[in-house]
């Protein structure tokens, strides 16, 4: 768990928001797109949505 939180922080992502969304989405998420849930990819998707 510590590694997940630190990885999110190192990538400029709020660990709580990231983990909450990943845990909510992972069950229905396409297995071929799991890389989209990684912190460095999650940040870029959410930056586009916020813009």
Q: How many domains does the chain have?
A: 1
DSSP class of residue 12? T
Q: Which two tokens stand for residue 29?
A: 């998420």
Domain that holds residue 39: 2-50
What is the model's pLDDT at position 44?
67
Positive or negative, the CA dihedral 24, 9, 41, 34 is negative
Q: What angle do CA 29, 48, 22 make, to 5 degrees?
A: 30
Cβ partners under 8 Å of residue 19, min gap 6:
4, 5, 8
Global confidence as pTM: 0.77
pLDDT digits (tens, 9 = 90+) for 1-51: 999 999 999 999 999 999 999 999 999 999 999 999 999 998 766 655 655
């Amino acid at each position: 768990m510590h590694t997940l939180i630190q990885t999110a922080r190192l990538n400029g992502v709020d660990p709580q928001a990231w983990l909450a969304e990943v845990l909510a989405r992972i069950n229905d998420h396409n297995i071929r797109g799991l890389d989209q849930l990684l912190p460095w990819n999650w940040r870029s998707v959410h930056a586009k949505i916020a813009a």
